[in-house]
Structure formats: C-alpha cells, structure tokens
Structure 1
Amino acid sequence: MKKKFILLTAFIVFICSISSIWAEPNVSSPSAILMDAKSGRVLYEKDADIKRFPASTTKIMTAILCIEHGNLDDVVTIGTNPSLVERGSSQIYLIPEEKLTLEQLLYAMMLESANDAAVAIAEHISGSVEEFAKLMNKRAKELGAQNTNFVNPNGLHDDNHVTTAKDLALIAKYGMTLPKFREVVNTVKYTIPETNKQPVRDYITNTNKLIWKSNKKYSYEYAIGIKTGYTVKAKNNLVAGALKDGTELISVVMAENGISDSSNVYTATKELFEYGFSSYSNKNLLTKDQVVTTVTLPGSDEKVNLLAAEDYGLLVSNEEIPKIGSSINIIDGIKKPIEKNQVLGFISYSLDGKEVKKIELLSAEEFLMPEKSPKRFLKWLLWAFILYILWRTVVVYSRYLRKKRRKRETPVLFMNRRRGRIW
C-alpha cells in the first residue's frame, strides 16, 4: 500500500511539473508583456496596449538618443535647468557650470536613475527638453511605438507622458541591439571621477536588482539589465532583459502595486522569464550565406545560387514546430549584368499561416554582359570583311555572267555580198 502511495505521489508531482511548464504565468501586474528579443514575437501579454505612466523607464529612449545622436566623449557643461529637477527625486545633484562627459551622464541616468542627468543629456543633444521630447516621439514612432507620448526625458510625472507595455518592449528591444546600451544597462556599479565642482561620486549603483549578484532575493541569473521606474502615480515599472542558451527575452511589468523597493515587480518579471525559457526554444531555420535555392538565368543555361542574407531562428513551442511554413519568391525580369550580393528574391517564413519574417536572397556571384574586348571586335571585323569579299565576288561574277549572256543573244550583222543584204 505504501509503495502504491509513493508511486501515486510521484506521478502527481510529475503531472504538476509538466502543467506548470506549459501554464501561462500568473502575473498580478495590471500590464505585462514577454517578447522574443530577436523576432519581436509576443509570447505573453496582459493589457499590453493600455496607456500607463512609464516613470523612469522613459530613460530607455533617452539613452538610445544619447548614443545615436551624441559623442560620448563630449564634455558637457551643466546649465541651470538640471539642478531644478523635482526635489526628492533620483539625481546626482549636478551644479551649474559643472563639467562631465556625456558618457558619465549616461551611466548616472541609467544606473542611479538621475533625473538631472537626463535633463543635461536632453539639452546637450537638442538644446532644450521640449525639442528633445519631439525627437523622442519621432524615434518612438519609427520603432513601432504608436501609443507613446513623451513630454520629458526622465519620466517625472505628467498626465500627458504615457506609453504602453508593448511600446516599451519594442523600444527596449531596439536598445539592446546597441552595444553601448547593452553594456550600460548590465553594469552594477559606476564611479564618476572628481569634477571641477564636486568630489568623486563612487555611489552610482544600478536600481535594477535583477542583475545584483549579492542579493539572491531579487537577482536572476540570466538577467542582462535594462531599467526600473517608479513614481507614486506610475507605481512600479520594470523593463528587463534575460539571456539563456542563446534565447533572449524582453519583459515589461507596469503599474505594479507596492512601495518603490517592492519585490512584487521582480517576482512577476522572473515568472515571465521562467515561462518563456521553459515553454519556448529557438528553432534555427536559416544560416547566413546558406544556399537557399538555385535559378537559371533567362535565355541561357547559366545558373545562380541564391544565398540567405542573414541568420534566422524562430522562438516556438514544440506544438508550433509543425506550423512553421516557408515560401520562396524570385523577382521578375532577372537579367545580366548581375552583381554579387544583388537581391534576386526573398524567402518568407510563417507561423500558423501568418507571415513572421521575410529575408532577402542574394546572388552568390556576379554575371557580366558578354565582354566587348578589342580582340573580339577584330574577330567580328574579320568576319565582316570575309562576308564582304564573298558578297563582292558573287556580285562581280553575276555581272560577268549577265554580260556574257547578252553577247550570246545579240545578232551578228554581216553583209551578204551575193545578195547585197545584211543579215
């Protein structure tokens, strides 16, 4: 009886573990999303299109623009506005006329969540916070964040300063393609050397506790950083990245209740990541420079190999693998000359009938027009001369034959002396 009970218990535990792997995460946060960092595929979402206050996760966009539009070696002279940010908010207490590099301001903003550093960056890049906000919104739209409106570079509360979990995931997904962004958001501590106004700042610490190694309560072994955000009205927000066995995920949790150091936001984020890593795996479908197909050039027997322009893999569950489809489309009117790496077609991948990726197919080699060399020209000229000689020979001989024929047909006149007549 005891043996049967043990077996039954083991079976129940096994079934529960299997169901927990495939069950969707139980996230209490009002808005959340889990996204594949490579394809942008949404693996889980909960009210991800509801507009909410982003708080300091706003600084993800500010950091992107700082890297894209600024020279990190630039020395920035602090104006009067950075020191006027809301008292009590996160800052490094910049002083007017203080000089720091743009890189130092970037680390202060993304690790310490310094609101004054964000203002200094905005003014350095665009001249004013207002102009920088326009640049933020323009870039957000370009990245697919259609439900976002930024008013400032730091996320201090404004009723018109809103975004969504999905938009934040898209912005963070792009940010993680920038090497400097990845480096900064995955840094735990940073030191700003002594400036012309203040002593060394050796306290700059990342507010994202997922990447802390010393605090096991909050840390997550696969975490690779990004950004926290908190205000009273926004509540707790966390945009996070994680990398495991080549699979990279982006998660966003918004408006989580609790005080600014609440563990709820970290618990929800870890649950999202565990769901993603346990339920999905990367299916490699294409390797860059792989021969995908071969086509014959029209009007000839020459063949050209078409190569994949990039690596591609799709994050799928085991049940979804049979639902992956592909199709190849070759462009019309292919003809010489063809350059190496010229786009000659596309391969499209679909999941359950819906297209998820289109990849260019490139020519493996060049195909030139027939060579027009002097040697070839002389050969053509020689044949033309030979044909001309043959034509002239035929013409002259024809004329000779006609002349001879006329002589034969002309009557011979002579005097018939006997009869006195001419014949």
Structure 2
Amino acid sequence: MENTRRMRPHYRAKTMAWRAAFFALMLCVCMCVFYVPVRAEYIGISDPTDVPEPEAKATYVLETTTGICIYGKNAEERLYPASTTKLMTALLIVEEGNLSDVVTFSAHAVNSIPYDSMHISIQPGEQLTLDQVLHAILIQSANEACMGAAEHIFGSVEAFVARMNERATELGAADTHFTNPHGLHDEQHYTTSRDLALIMQEVMKNETLRAVMSKATYTIPPTNKTDKPRYLTNSNRLIHQNGQYYNENIICGKTGFTTPAGNTLVTYGEVNGLSFIIVIMKAGQGKTFQSTSTLIDYFEKSLQIVTVANVFDYAAAVPSANGELVYLQPKEGFTLLSYRDDPMTDLRTEYSIPDMITEPVREGTPLGTISVYSGDRLVGKTEMVARADYGLEAPVVQTTGEISTTPVTTEAEVPRGGGMAQLFRFVLIAGGVVLACFVLYLVVAMISASRYRKRCKRIKNHLYIRERNGSGYDKL
C-alpha cells in the first residue's frame, strides 16, 4: 500500500464550502467597516429627442424650480415679440407705479397707435386707475393703455422705454431691445425666446401680475367719459375652461401677434411640483396654444422633481487662509429634475467655488455654485453656501476669495453617515453578496459530490477487476 496521503473528495468539498462561507463573512465585515453611503439614484430622463417639437420658429422651455432649460430651438435668434412686450411693461407698472393712482389719458397716448390694433377705445381725457390699466394691458392687450401708463409713471414714453431696456439688461436678457411699450412692429424692437423666458420668470415672482394674467375675463366699470362698462376677455385660450385649448395645468400667459412676428405665446404652468415657462415664437395661427398644451401634457407624464434629502451629500471643502477647511453645501431645498423612465446612474458634479477662503464667513453666505449632470445633461444647479460660521473673531463680509472661473468636475463629497436610503441600499448589496456566495457554495458542493461519486465508482470497478485477476489489493 502506497504511503502517500491524499485528501478524500468529500473532505475537499467540505473545505471548499467552508472557504466560500468564510470569504462571504469577511466580505460582509469589510463592507460594514469601510462602508461609505452612496447618493440615492434618482430616476431620470428618457431620450430628450422625445420632446414634442412645436411648429414654430423658436421655442424655449424653462423649469423654474431647478432653473434648467428643458428644451430649446433657435433660442438665441432675435425675433419680434409683438404683444409679449407687455410683460415687461406690466412688470415696470407694478415695480415703479402705484396701482391706486388715477391715470388721465393724453391725446398722444390714445391717437399714436393704429386704430386697427388692439385697444379698448379709451378717449383723450378719460380716467382709469392704474390697476384697471394693468388689466387692460394683460387681458385685452390694449395698446393705448400701455402708452398712458408709460406717460403717467415716467412722464414720457421714451423714458419708460429706456427703463424697459435697463430692466431687461438687469434680468440677463442681453439680446432684447425695446422701442415702444406695446410691441407694435419696429425693426429695432426684438428679443429672443430665451430672453422672454427670463422676463416671464421675473414677472411670475409678482403675485399681482400672476393673478391678473390668470383671469379669463375682467370688467372695467363706467368712467368719466363713458357710462358703459368695458368687458375684457383674455386672449390666452389655454385658460378658458370651456374653450377648445383649455389645459388645467396652465396658470397664465401672454399672447402676441403682428404679421412680421407671427403668433407668439409666453405661458406659465405647473405640474407634478414643477413650474414651467414655455415660450413659442413665430408660429402659425392656433399653433401656439396647441404646441404649449402638448408640451405641458408631455411634461406631466415624463417629469418629476426630486428634492435632495441631505444637501451635505454634495458638500465641498475649501481651504482657508488659517489652514482650516471651510465646508460649502448647496442651499436647502436643492432639487434635481427627474425624468421617470431613465435612471440617472452616471451623476457628476461641477463646482464653481473659491480656491481659498481668505476672510471670515457667516453661515449661509453664497460662495459659488454647483451643477449636477447626468451624462452630459444638466439636472440641477444652485448656490453653494457656507455650512457654518468661520473666523468670526474678525469682521464678517458677505463675499470671500475669488470665484474660480474654471469649474471643478468631480463626484460630490459624501460624508459618512447617510440616511435610510443609503442603509437600505447597503442591506441590498450585502444581501446580494451573501446570496451569491451561498449559490457558489452550492455549486462547488454539488460538483465535488459528483466527482466523489464518480471516483468511488471507478475505485469499485478497479477492485472488482483486480479481484477477478487475482492481483490482490496491496497496490491500492
């Protein structure tokens, strides 16, 4: 009998099984020790080309909660705004005027507009409150009302228009130039769909303007020049409940039309916690209402807003002059724009923040911005603010350091800790690893057992043959 000892198959199977189990246990222990929470995977967008394209020269769709442009077509092309000009006119009326004032219309204000343009037949010397004038401008699109308001607030139409252009520049509408307060055609009176969205975004911050534009009808009572009331009807068909184009998700908007401008519409709508500004310029008759309604319905089915539960998941550390680290984080309420049917698994961040903090900072001080991308698509952007006070033994200022002009692209710094979502994710991963190791154990055990049975059978056959040949067993 040979003196060589070999491990029997069933011992070898047990050893491999114990090794697999030990490996699984060690892997789980390592995950527990070195586990760092991962951001929740947000549900995102399908192919953006699925967005229904409006039949118009230019389109711009802005989601105001996140500040993200969802769709743009010829967004920087200069076009004529027609009566959507009145958005800026109305904004200046509420910012610079007193709505309880009485406006007395001059002959120039009444007679300087073409009679075949939009008006409510105001007469020279007629008196209306500025609030009534505002309703006439935004609901009936009355051109002489714009002229009277401009003269009343700034003394002249020219001064009012100059302020319109200043205000456009302040809002970032760099490709906009106004020559009048009503929007009747002028070669030098132009804007872009993007600029109109920026103006509308500012308009929507004013509750008075939002309320006025949301009205389907309005009545101006008799005045010093007429004993009959004026009944105004909003030209925005999307808000008329019994109309062909009514859409319950549309809050308000402003229409516009001249022959050179075509049909123009700026609309504000809300759905699924999202707020949309939709600008459509130079479209055919009826196409603005139809296209806007189609877009808002698409967004209702496709989009949702996701609020980041723990903004420190996107924190960044900036060195200070005294060697400390100053932690910056997005403002509370940071949201990401989510398309339902495409998980955003490839999230990355870009920070535009100071290279170093050189002066004291108070908690909440804005110190740059963060942009979050899914692939190449922007899904969230907001300010980065100081997480806590730093260096307050010195005088506090509101700005510190130089903001880097080159964005830093990185994965967001994620602190240890996390929430229930991260814990649940960890449990799922750990459970998956254990399950995989258990399956591996079963496979190894089954293979080893099969090999053991085959070897036993071969040994038995070999012994039987040798017994028949009388060769004995001493060589086994």
Normalised by the length of structure 2, the TM-score is 0.64
Offset at residue 222 of structure 1 (A): 0.4
Task: Compare CA radii of gyration and give the structure with the larger one.
Answer: 1
Q: Would the alpha carbon gap of residues 57 and 93 (structure 1) be closer, same or farther in structure 2, given more than 3 Å must change?
A: same
Offset at residue 360 of structure 1 (A): 3.6
Listed one character per residue, the Cα deviations across residues 264-310 of structure 1 (whole Å, up to 9, x for unaligned) are 22111112222333332212126899996899999899x99877544
Paired position in structure 1 for 2:291: 268
Cα RMSD, aligned residues only:
3.4
The one-letter code sitting in structure 2 at the alignment partner of 1:237 is T
Paired position in structure 2 for 1:241: 268
CA distance in 1, matches of 2:131, 2:262: 29
CA distance in 1, matches of 2:109, 2:230: 20
Helix, strand or coil for the counterpart of 1:252? Answer: strand
Q: Say if 2:127 is the partner of 1:99.
A: yes
Paired position in structure 1 for 2:301: 278
The one-letter code sitting in structure 1 at the alignment partner of 2:240 is W
Q: Say if 2:99 is the partner of 1:72.
A: yes
The one-letter code sitting in structure 2 at the alignment partner of 1:118 is C
Offset at residue 68 of structure 1 (A): 1.3
CA distance in 2, matches of 1:299, 1:240: 51
Offset at residue 203 of structure 1 (A): 0.8
Listed one character per residue, the Cα deviations across residues 394-415 of structure 1 (whole Å, up to 9, x for unaligned) are xxxxxxxxxxxxxxxxxxxxxx
Paired position in structure 2 for 1:314: 336
The one-letter code sitting in structure 2 at the alignment partner of 1:92 is I
Helix, strand or coil for the counterpart of 1:48? Answer: coil
Helix, strand or coil for the counterpart of 1:25? Answer: coil
Contact 1:22-1:275 at 8 Å conserved across structures: no
CA distance in 1, matches of 2:76, 2:262: 17
The one-letter code sitting in structure 1 at the alignment partner of 2:304 is S
Paired position in structure 2 for 1:361: 385
Listed one character per residue, the Cα deviations across residues 104-148 of structure 1 (whole Å, up to 9, x for unaligned) are 111110001000111111112222222222111121122122222
Structure 1: tracts of 5 or more residues without a match: 1-17, 371-423
CA distance in 1, matches of 2:312, 2:90: 34
Paired position in structure 2 for 1:350: 372
Normalised by the length of structure 1, the TM-score is 0.71
Q: Would the alpha carbon gap of residues 334 and 212 (structure 1) be closer, same or farther in structure 2, given more than 3 Å must change?
A: same
Question: In the alignment, which of 93, 116, 124 is matched to residue 88 of structure 1?
Answer: 116
Paired position in structure 1 for 2:227: 199
The one-letter code sitting in structure 1 at the alignment partner of 2:213 is V
Where do residues 115-154 of structure 1 align in structure 2 (5 Å cutoff)?
A: 115-154=143-182
Contact 1:63-1:110 at 8 Å conserved across structures: yes
CA distance in 2, matches of 1:255, 1:42: 20
Paired position in structure 2 for 1:220: 247
The one-letter code sitting in structure 1 at the alignment partner of 2:272 is D
Q: Which has the higher mean CA deviation after the structures are superposed, 306-315 or 173-182?
A: 306-315
Where do residues 169-208 of structure 1 align in structure 2 (5 Å cutoff)?
A: 169-208=197-236
Listed one character per residue, the Cα deviations across residues 340-384 of structure 1 (whole Å, up to 9, x for unaligned) are x452755623214687634242455798649xxxxxxxxxxxxxx
The one-letter code sitting in structure 2 at the alignment partner of 1:145 is A
Paired position in structure 2 for 1:168: 196
Contact 1:83-1:95 at 8 Å conserved across structures: yes
CA distance in 1, matches of 2:211, 2:354: 40
Contact 2:245-2:293 at 8 Å conserved across structures: no
Paired position in structure 2 for 1:27: 54
Q: Would the alpha carbon gap of residues 266 and 365 (structure 1) be closer, same or farther in structure 2, given more than 3 Å must change?
A: same
CA distance in 2, matches of 1:325, 1:291: 10
Listed one character per residue, the Cα deviations across residues 19-63 of structure 1 (whole Å, up to 9, x for unaligned) are 999722132222222221233322122222222221111101111
Contact 2:320-2:356 at 8 Å conserved across structures: no
Query: % of aligned pairs identical?
Result: 34
Q: Would the alpha carbon gap of residues 95 and 289 (structure 1) be closer, same or farther in structure 2, given more than 3 Å must change?
A: farther
Contact 2:272-2:303 at 8 Å conserved across structures: no
> How many residues are aligned here?
345
Structure 2: tracts of 5 or more residues without a match: 1-44, 395-476
CA distance in 1, matches of 2:60, 2:297: 13
Offset at residue 316 of structure 1 (A): 3.3
Contact 1:21-1:275 at 8 Å conserved across structures: no
CA distance in 2, matches of 1:190, 1:323: 51
CA distance in 1, matches of 2:199, 2:46: 33
Q: Say if 2:49 is the partner of 1:36.
A: no
The one-letter code sitting in structure 2 at the alignment partner of 1:223 is I
The one-letter code sitting in structure 2 at the alignment partner of 1:180 is T
Paired position in structure 2 for 1:384: none
Paired position in structure 1 for 2:140: 112
